[in-house]
Amino acid sequence: MISSRIFEKWWLRAFVALVIFFIWQICYAINKVQGLEEEKTVLQATIEVLKRKSDMLRTEIHEKERTLTRLDGRIEEIDTQIRDHISLLPRVNRSTPFIYFITPTHFRAAQKADLTRLSYTLSHVPNLHWIVVEDSDSLTSSVAEILKRSRLPHTHLNARTPSDQKMKYTDPNWTLPRGVEQRNAALLWIQNQLSGVGSGVVYFGDDDNTYDLRIFEEMRKVDNAGVWPVGIVGGMFVETPVLADNGSIISFNSIWKPDRPFPIDMAAFAVNVTLILSHPNALFSFDVPRGYQESTFLENLGINRLNMEPLAEKCTKVYVWHTRTEKSKLSKGMVEKLTKKTGFNELESHALGVAY
Ligand code: UDP
Ligand code: MN
């Protein structure tokens, strides 16, 4: 009797303890769930705030992008205005003879750079028509773009040098004549398009030479054929006609093949357009001895030392230099890309003026 009461008591106690334990466990779990719920609510609120922030940032990005586009447009506008100001120069002035500036040009690493520099020189010259003849099978858009940006009156032609006359990348610079086919294409264009033109002057301006703006004003004085000194050419600082006191040409100071009829560089002379029109057979040729391109051409036009006009203050000033852009040192792989004209990345294509 006593023992069963004791048992009952013990069982009861254990039961009560168990119930209390369970209740405590439930309370603990409820508490934990409540904590998690709270945490969840806080996280949800944070997510909402972040979402709002992200929306705001996205709107801001869009706004900034719109501003950027607007600014790009403005830059383009100002760029055009600047070019318009340059073109405020009297581009066409009836009383000034036109200069037909013939530039043969061929693809190489520095072609775009050289032509860009030349285009900015020429854009300062009024009454100049730039005839650019590419040594290629077709016109390239890179050269077309330079011509367009120059805002100069221009003609864009192409004439490929025959492959047996074309120099390889590794050839020394002076083995074959350059620009023959291209200058002839320009001369034929002049004969076809300018027949009947009564005044103007034709000049062969290579793409890598350096031109003082004063050379253009000298050219305009040409009646027949004008001649002047050229800097850094033929192994000399200056090649020049040597004049007598009365201003006539006695000789030339050239040291390279001085016996040529005209031992001068292509950059040293300009001729009246009417001479070109009246001598359609005066063209350049691959069949003349090395160094005789200038002499043969001038002789075919009927020029001699007596009817040539020394200019640039009686040949005492140098307004043009036969500068040459150094052939860039390139790795074998780069040379291969350049020769094949393929394999460039986008930026390289832009640098070299090659379609990407
Ligand atoms: N040229 C060309 N094809 C060629 C090599 C040259 O049309 O294969 C052009 C060249 O771009 C330049 C002119 O002919 O305007 C004279 O060439 P270069 O400047 O190389 O000759 P150099 O300086 O030796 O007189
Ligand atoms: Mn050159």
**For residue 302, what are the CA distances in angstroms to 154, 259, 276, 308?**
28, 18, 11, 10
Per-residue pLDDT at 158 exceeds 70 = yes
pTM: 0.77
Mean pLDDT within 281-291: 95
* Enzyme catalytic residues: 294
Neighbours of 173 (CB within 10 A): 9
pLDDT in tens, 317-356: 999 999 999 998 999 999 999 999 999 999 999 999 998 8
104 lines ligand 1 (CB under 6 A): yes
Nearest CA to ligand 1 atom 23: 324
The predicted pLDDT at position 5 comes to 62
pLDDT in tens, 302-320: 999 999 999 999 999 999 9
Instruction: Evaluate whether 224 touches 271 at the Cβ level (below 8 Å).
Output: yes
Q: Which of 249, 229, 248, 251 has its CA nearest to residue 238?
A: 229
For residue 141, the CA-to-ligand 2 centroid distance in Å is 22
pLDDT in tens, 134-155: 999 999 999 999 999 999 999 9
Instruction: Evaluate whether 107 touches 321 at the Cβ level (below 8 Å).
Output: no
Token pair recorded at residue 224: 């027949």
**Cα–Cα distance, 226 to 66 (Å, whole number):** 57
Name the CATH topology of 90-325: Spore Coat Polysaccharide Biosynthesis Protein SpsA; Chain A (3.90.550)
Amino acid at 235: G
Token pair recorded at residue 279: 């001598």
182 lines ligand 1 (CB under 6 A): yes
Helix and strand element counts for the chain (H, E): 10, 13
**Cα–Cα distance, 283 to 325 (Å, whole number):** 27
The predicted pLDDT at position 231 comes to 98
Where b means 16+ CB within 10 Å and e means fewer, 313-323 reads eebeebbbbbb
The predicted pLDDT at position 318 comes to 98
Instruction: Evaluate whether 135 touches 112 at the Cβ level (below 8 Å).
Output: no
Q: Which atom of ligand 1 is nearest to the CA of 135?
A: 7
Q: Which atom of ligand 1 is nearest to the CA of 103?
A: 15
209 lines ligand 1 (CB under 6 A): no
The predicted pLDDT at position 54 comes to 96
The predicted pLDDT at position 268 comes to 98
For residue 323, the CA-to-ligand 2 centroid distance in Å is 6
CA–centroid distance for 10 within its chain: 102
Q: Which atom of ligand 1 is nearest to the CA of 265?
A: 25
The predicted pLDDT at position 39 comes to 94
**208 in a known ligand binding site:** yes
The predicted pLDDT at position 86 comes to 62
Q: Three-class SS of residue 328?
A: coil
Contacting residues for 220 by C-beta, under 8 A, at least 6 apart: 96, 97, 99, 127, 201
The predicted pLDDT at position 92 comes to 67
